[in-house]
């Protein structure tokens, strides 16, 4: 059951890399076409410097990649804690639910980006994460894990 619990985390890592490649493939061509090209970027420039320079729909992929580096950093240790302490089939299903919702959130944000739908997907994934975090706490702090 440990491998089944870790599989959603591995899948989300792969998805994050897919988003990184999608972001690069979408952003690099217009960056080279921008006035002065890539060489015009100021030293120490950051992605946020491209806001208002590149089209919003191009920057959406970057925004989502940033989001994948934020909340999922909580998901990863929670999944490891549960995997070590003894997951149940519900934990695995909820972890896959979290990953599925994050993937849908990514695709939505990178393409359509209607905030109400995006926020709803975020809330649903956060509920999954909360359920996992509560169970990780129960398994560890309350001693409910497999002995």
Per-residue pLDDT reduced to its tens digit, 100-135: 999 999 999 999 999 999 999 999 999 999 999 999
> Which residues lie below 8 Å from residue 133, measured CB to CB, with a gap of 6+?
74, 78
CA 17/CA 107 separation, integer angstroms: 14
pLDDT given at position 48: 67
The pLDDT assigned to 91 comes to 98
**Angle value at C-alpha 51, between 67 and 121, nearest 5 degrees:** 30
Instruction: State the sign of the Cα–Cα–Cα–Cα dihedral 131, 76, 96, 141.
Output: negative
pLDDT class of 94 with cuts at 50, 70, 90: very high
Out of 4-18, 25-39, 81-95, pick the least confident: 25-39
On whether the pTM is more than 0.75, the answer is: yes
pLDDT score for 127: 98
| Radius of gyration, alpha carbons of the chain | 18
Comparison of pLDDT for 102 and 51, the residue scoring more: 102
At 49, the pLDDT band (50, 70, 90 cuts) reads low
> Can you give the pLDDT at residue 38?
63
**pLDDT value of residue 39:** 53
How large is the angle between the packed helices 89-111 and 56-68, nearest 10 degrees? 160
Axis-axis angle for helices 115-140, 89-111 (nearest 10): 160
Quote the DSSP letter at residue 42: P
Q: Is the pLDDT reported for residue 69 higher than 90?
A: yes
């Amino acid at each position: 059951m440990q491998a089944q619990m870790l599989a959603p985390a591995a899948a989300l890592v792969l998805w994050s890399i897919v988003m990184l490649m999608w972001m690069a493939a979408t952003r690099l061509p217009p960056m080279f076409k921008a006035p002065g090209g890539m060489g015009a970027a100021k030293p120490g420039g950051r992605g946020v410097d491209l806001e208002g320079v590149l089209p919003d729909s191009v920057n959406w992929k970057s925004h989502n990649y940033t989001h994948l580096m934020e909340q999922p950093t909580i998901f990863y240790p929670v999944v490891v804690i549960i995997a070590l302490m003894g997951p149940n089939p519900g934990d695995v299903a909820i972890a896959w639910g979290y990953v599925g919702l994050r993937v849908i959130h990514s695709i939505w944000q990178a393409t359509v980006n209607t905030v109400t739908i995006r926020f709803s997907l975020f809330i649903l994934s956060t509920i999954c994460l909360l359920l996992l975090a509560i169970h990780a706490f129960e398994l560890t702090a309350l001693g409910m894990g497999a002995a």
